[in-house]
A and B are shown apart, each in its own frame.
Chain A
Amino acid sequence: MSRFKKKKGSGTPAISTASLPDIVFMLLFFFMVTTVMRETTLLVENALPQASEVKKIEDKSLCSYIYVGAPVTGMQSKFGTEPRIQLNDSFKLASDIQEFVASKREATAEEKKPQLITCIKADVDAKMGLITDIKQELRKAQAYKINYATYSSVD
């Protein structure tokens, strides 16, 4: 260390970077804790609407997600630009929803079945016609609890 002592007294002393790793670790832990690995890749545009009267979903594992929106740019040549339904990892039709809900119900423990909830994550540009179709299918499948996913805003 004595090698560096030559320039003594000239200029401002260097800022200590010894605490830099601590700061970085702090950020690292924050992101590690908040991160959620998305289990499905989004194939649709999904800009959610905003609402102020929101509730938090207590148990995300009881949630089955239905994504609605226009296909992303890479998919438009194949699937067009009209909003569509995405279940799991592929585009589906409204008529496939009953099967989708049933498979989720089968995979859930008996005592938790009444708490199952369907989350509709629809794009702001989607039309209600498609949403209505989904709702009708959910009624047929007797999955009555639904949740319209929205960002929470303060009004």
Chain B
Amino acid sequence: MSRRSLPEINAGSMADIAFLLLIFFLVTTTMDVDTGLVRKLPAMPEDEEQIIDDSQIKAKNIYVVLVNAKDQLLVEEELMEISQLRAGAKKFLDNWGKNPSLSDNPQKAIISLQNDRGTSYEMYIKVQNELSAAYRELRDREAQKKFGLNYTELKGDRKKEIRKMFPEKISEAEPKNAGGN
């Protein structure tokens, strides 16, 4: 230690420098969105034979969801509000053969979604979200019953088991242009 005390460095401008940097990062920062709905597209049909014949699947196992160019929903040939779609899909999937007009069991059930070229992207995402939510709620219920946990908290084989019970089968029809847009 030196006997002579060193002159203290003035730290008063430190705040200014820090503010300068702070403002730079405040301006350049963009909170990037890295969340989204994950989907898997089907492979292109190579020839006519590969297109699965709809008649091979029983009509009652298909839940037809149509969205038109005016963002209106037609579910199983009836007009429906988006708020009812989740409950409707759950009822269809969770039927187990009770109601003869709904699905035999969730493994056989297919949700068929078809939209028009004029449908807004916002509506399309809403519909996709509601259908996903229906599956998620059913999976959660089953996972709670069996393991006392939510579906997303499960790991490995347990998760697979629940997924096998309620496989997410959302099929999108080959695009058509009905709305004339």
Contact = CB atoms under 8 A, between A and B. Distances in A.
B30 to A, nearest CB: 5
B1 interface: no
Contact of B37 (A17, A34, A51, A138): A51
A50 B22 CA distance: 30
A72 interface: no
Contact of B33 (A37, A143, A149): A149
Contact of B28 (A37, A125, A129, A132): A37
A132 B19 CA distance: 47
A55 interface: yes
B39 A24 contact: no
B37 A55 contact: yes
B100 interface: no
A92 B21 CA distance: 37
Contact of A124 (B18, B29, B120, B181): B120
Given A21-B11, A132-B175, A149-B35, A144 B30 contact: no
Contacts of A125: 120-122
Contacts of B21: 28
Given A57-B35, A139-B43, A49 B125 contact: yes
Given A53-B37, A53-B133, A124 B22 contact: no
B129 interface: yes
B32 interface: yes
B95 interface: no
Nearest to A48: B33
A152 B11 contact: no
A138 B29 contact: no
A28 B175 CA distance: 49
If over half of B's interface residues share one DSSP class (helix, strand or loop), that class is named, otherwise mixed; here it is: mixed
A133 B11 CA distance: 60
A119 B146 CA distance: 35
Interface in B106-126: 115-122, 124-126
A4 interface: no
Nearest to A35: B29
Contacts of A122: 121
A142 B35 CA distance: 23
B52 interface: no
Interface string A9-26: 000000001001100110
A131 B121 contact: yes
B68 to A, nearest CB: 11
B40 interface: yes
A79 interface: no
Contacts of B33: 48, 121, 149-151
9 contacts: A24-B18, A127-B117, A128-B115, A129-B177, A144-B42, A144-B43, A145-B38, A147-B37, A151-B35
Interface of B: 11, 14-15, 18-19, 21-22, 25-26, 28-44, 115-122, 124-126, 128-129, 132-133, 136, 175, 177, 181
Interface of A: 17, 20-21, 24-25, 27-28, 31-32, 34-38, 48-57, 60, 68, 117, 119, 121-129, 131-132, 135-136, 138-140, 142-152, 155
